[in-house]
Amino acid sequence: MLLSTPEIVSAPQNLLPAAGSGSAPLPALLPEDPLYRTAQAANEYLRASRASSTRRAYEADWRDFSAWCQGHSLEALPATPASIALYLSDLAQRGRKVATITRRLTSINIVHKRAGLTSPSQNQPLIAETLQGIRRTLGTRQQVKQPVDLELLKRAIAHAQGTLAASRDRALLLVGFAGGMRRSELAALRVENLTWHKRGITIFLPTSKTDQEQQGREVELPLGSQPNGTPLSALTCPVRALEQWMKQASIKTGPVFRRVTHAQTIGGGLDPRSIGEIVKRMLRQAGLSEQELKRYGAHSLRAGFATEAYRNGASELAIMRQTGHKSSAMVRRYIRTDKADRMAAASKLGL
Sheet bearing 217-222, strands edge to edge: 194-197, 200-205, 217-222
How far CA 205 is from CA of 16, 255, 257, 305, 322, in Å, comes to: 26, 13, 15, 17, 11
209 is catalytic: yes
Residue 112 among the catalytic residues: no
Tell me the C-alpha to C-alpha distance, in Å, between residue 127 and each of 76, 94, 108, 109, 134: 15, 18, 12, 12, 11
Active-site position among 209, 273, 326, 333: 209
Which of 50, 145, 334, 336 is catalytic? The answer is 334
**Residue 156 contacts by C-beta under 8 Å, 6 or more apart in sequence?**
148, 173, 282, 283, 285, 286
Cα four-point dihedral sign 216, 222, 223, 226: negative
> Whole-angstrom Cα distance, residue 192 to residue 241?
18
What one-letter code names the amino acid at 310?
Y
Q: H or E segment at 194?
A: strand 194-197
Measured between alpha carbons, how far apart are the two ends of the chain, in Å? 70
Judge whether 262 counts as a catalytic residue: no
- Of 114, 302, 310, 336, which one is the catalytic site residue? 302
47 labelled catalytic? no
Marked catalytic residue, from 96, 182, 183, 336: 182
Query: ∠ CA 206-330-342 to the nearest 5 degrees?
Result: 145
Evaluate the CA torsion angle 263, 264, 270, 276 in order and state its sign.
Answer: positive
User: Cα separation of 175 and 270, whole Å?
Assistant: 15
Residue of 104, 113, 325, 336 marked catalytic? 325
- Asked if 36 is an active-site residue, the reply is no
**Residue 197 a catalytic site member:** no
For residue 107, the 8-state DSSP code is: H
Q: Which residues are catalytic?
A: 182, 209, 299, 302, 325, 334
